[in-house]
Structure 1
Amino acid sequence: MQDAQPHVPHPPERLNFTYVPRKGLLKLTIVNLLLSIITFSIYRFWAKTNVRKHIWSCVHINGEPLEYTGTGKELFMGALIVFAFLFLPIIIMAAAISLAYGPDSPLLILIQFFVIIVIYVFWGFAVYKARKYQLSRTHWRGIRGTLVGSAMTYSLLYFGSLLAKSMSFGWATPVMNTVLQEQMTNDMRFGDAAFKFKGRAGPLYPTYALCWLLSLGAIIGIFVLGAGAAAGSQAIQDIFSGTGNPTDAETYAGLIAFGLIAFFLLTLLIIPMLWSVYIAKELRTFANYTRFDGVPFSLDASAGSVIWLAVVNILILIFTLGIGWPYINQRTVRFVVDRISLDGLVDIDRIQQSQVPLDKRGEGLADAFDVGGL
């Protein structure tokens, strides 16, 4: 009888990220759409899972694909629990008040205000739980990820960031985004290996200030164009009512058309393109601030590449009426995978499986708030 071969440890290795496309996403999108229609949208939990399995399997690290082990049932049960314990009592209470005191009761306004506060306070909670669920269902070489921190702590921090951003007219955004990213990243684990994030928001501010000022100019332009279109519309109404000059109708119609086209271009393309410049800067900076097992990340994301990603994603969303959302997810994941790198060697053999218990429920609140994306 031969002796068992001893385990030969592998030397530390450089992790290479590649996106390997697979066929079948179009078929998957069509099937998911049809089944979601037939089941009155209940199938969307399984649809979301199927899309994730497809996209995850296209992400390879050193030639080995990621595996997504989440299930539609977990997502469905999580959403069901949230509906039963959070939204159903609110619906019953609102219906009872409406029947007892009428639909114009001030108590209904209080309930609506309460719902809005709940959404804002627990939005960060939903984001954190969704990230934790996705990481815990993401496997590579049999090792899974997780988050080890408190969802409530992150939720309160997220709510505070919303207040700070709104009260500062957005100028607190770089600071608060850095704080939130630090909190989330420092809670992340792959097996028992930790991610670390450390850095300042200062380098983000020159780019942020430029985008903020240009966006302010674009918003002023939107109001000017809107006012021009409204004036043209009123002039045409005067012509039809007999109080205006009929010879000016063509001019006013052109003014309206120009105003509307410019309005939609500014709103849907120009402003998102402007902020893509800042997003690219933030992505690169946050990648440089991040370490895995002591090894730094880098991300080669130019402003032009982010603008192209954003513009094409917006066009896909518009021209497919939202049906092409899986392709937006695919393009976004591929964008990151094709540009990210770890600038050093990682001792993979040293990493052990995470001992954090698996949550058997899905994203729940994240799905209710529609923040359980990629």
Structure 2
Amino acid sequence: MVDFNKPADLFAPAPAAATPPQYLKFHASGSEYFRIWIVNLLLSIVTLGIYSAWAKVRRNQYFYSSTELAGSSFEYHGNPIAILKGRIVAAVVVGAYAFAGKVSPLLAVVMFVVMAAVIPWFIWRSLQFQLHNSAWRGIRFRFDGQLRDAYINCLLRPLLNIVTFGLATPYIYQRLKAWQFNESRFGQARFATRASVGSFYKLFGAFLLLGIVGGIVFGMLSAFMVAGSLAGRDPNALNLNLSLGGMITVAVFYLLILSLAPLLIALIQNLVWNNASLDRHEFRSEVRTGRMLFIIVTNILGVICTLGLFLPFAQVRMMRYRIESLMMIPEGSLDEFVASASADVNAAGEGVSDFMDFDFSL
């Protein structure tokens, strides 16, 4: 209630204007990325994979610089030498495991245990490397997660699936994403996600139900196709119909299988980012299932029909839709937020510039 008896303070600062929601923008094009992609591919082949580290830096720098928030693009500062070192270490570990399998089954088991023991460390270092080398408006991100938690989330909790026959998967994934988000920083600002275990179970359950319904519809269509073929009287026509029907059935089956993982990842994006925040600032993700499925299916068909040459265009299409479906809802001025986040961060992440990147992705 307004107190009309109280004199107005003429020198009081005006309330800050609310900043409208800021959608992310993506300026990359398939034709531009195709030129980067084909050069990266050819040089990686010629150098027997050595150039792949520089190829990753070129690709990330292009995609980061093409992604814009509130008029400012992101930056990628990854060192290709550090990436190459990480790949060499990972190749040595995998190569040792493959060699052990040919020498002795017991040695193969030992090497498998060693690989399982070092993978959480790889993931932990990779997260630190990726965020430390990512920046926006000159301020770097960083990952403050502890190595102990990496072993809990990436090694110990996944063992629950052995005794639960896979039923612990939503719980394991929720804890992993919570660890990844809650330990991420932008300068001094902290990321967080409120997505609960129950919401992950609902999502995975709905996705499983969708898969079951799709499988039933697919089976019914296959049965009708076979029944229609059997109704013909000409044996030659029957064999031709069965062959064509079998090819169509297999093609649709593989198309369905290849679409499931990208669709689930997109739905998880909605779940995680709709419950995410950066200090007082909120996020929203508006990925639509139908639109996402259309992009996935047409991308797969395009890659198959062009023998892989459509792949860079498919990647740009997918990234554009997922990135431009994401928005930030600022609480106050973003300029004030950036100034606050940049305070006293010069020493943040000190000593991680030589971290190795092991190309793990969460």
With normalisation by structure 1, the TM-score equals 0.74
In the alignment, the residues of structure 1 paired with residue 354 and residue 128 of structure 2 have an alpha-carbon distance, to the nearest angstrom, of: 12
Match of 2:339 among 326, 344, 349: 349
For structure 1, the residue ranges without an aligned partner over 5 or more in a row are 1-9, 98-107, 230-246
Query: Deviations for 1:75-107, whole angstroms, at most 9, x for unmatched residues?
Result: 1122223445x3465566567x4xxxxxxxxxx
Match of 1:149 among 140, 145, 157: 145
What is residue 86 of structure 2 aligned with on the other side?
78
Is the partner of 2:50 in helix, strand or coil? coil
What is residue 242 of structure 1 aligned with on the other side?
none
**1:263 counterpart = 2:250:** yes
**1:110 counterpart = 2:106:** yes
Q: CA RMSD in A?
A: 3.7
**1:30 counterpart = 2:38:** yes
Is the partner of 2:320 in helix, strand or coil? helix
Match of 1:159 among 155, 161, 185: 155
Is the partner of 1:24 in helix, strand or coil? helix
What is residue 50 of structure 1 aligned with on the other side?
58
Judged with a 3 Å threshold, the aligned counterparts in structure 2 of structure 1 residues 175 and 351 are, in CA distance, closer, same or farther, namely same
What is residue 9 of structure 2 aligned with on the other side?
none
In the alignment, the residues of structure 2 paired with residue 174 and residue 302 of structure 1 have an alpha-carbon distance, to the nearest angstrom, of: 21
Alignment of 1:244-259 (within 5 A): 248=235, 250-259=237-246
Match of 1:337 among 307, 323, 334: 323
Query: Deviations for 1:114-154, whole angstroms, at most 9, x for unmatched residues?
Result: 44455555545444433322211112121111111124522
For structure 2, the residue ranges without an aligned partner over 5 or more in a row are 1-15, 226-233
In the alignment, the residues of structure 2 paired with residue 312 and residue 148 of structure 1 have an alpha-carbon distance, to the nearest angstrom, of: 39
Indicate conservation of the 8 Å contact 2:21/2:327, yes or no: yes
**1:200 counterpart = 2:200:** no
Alignment of 1:1-374 (within 5 A): 16=22, 17-21=24-28, 24-84=32-92, 86-87=93-94, 90=97, 97=103, 108-120=104-116, 122-151=118-147, 153-165=149-161, 167-216=163-212, 248=235, 250-269=237-256, 272=259, 276=263, 279-322=265-308, 324-344=310-330, 345=332, 346=334, 347-352=337-342, 353=345, 355-357=348-350, 358-364=352-358, 366=359, 371-372=360-361
Is the partner of 1:334 in helix, strand or coil? helix
Deviation at 1:57, TM superposition (A): 0.5
Indicate conservation of the 8 Å contact 1:280/1:301, yes or no: yes
Q: Tell me the amino acid that sits aligned with residue 83 of structure 2.
A: L
- Percent identical among aligned pairs is 23
Query: Deviations for 1:304-351, whole angstroms, at most 9, x for unmatched residues?
Result: 122123223433443455555444443343223211112223411101
What is residue 10 of structure 2 aligned with on the other side?
none
Judged with a 3 Å threshold, the aligned counterparts in structure 2 of structure 1 residues 89 and 222 are, in CA distance, closer, same or farther, namely same
Indicate conservation of the 8 Å contact 1:51/1:326, yes or no: no
Is the partner of 2:354 in helix, strand or coil? coil
Judged with a 3 Å threshold, the aligned counterparts in structure 2 of structure 1 residues 274 and 189 are, in CA distance, closer, same or farther, namely closer
In the alignment, the residues of structure 1 paired with residue 121 and residue 218 of structure 2 have an alpha-carbon distance, to the nearest angstrom, of: 35
**Count of residue pairs the alignment pairs up:** 331
Is the partner of 2:204 in helix, strand or coil? helix
Is the partner of 2:284 in helix, strand or coil? strand
In the alignment, the residues of structure 1 paired with residue 129 and residue 17 of structure 2 have an alpha-carbon distance, to the nearest angstrom, of: 31
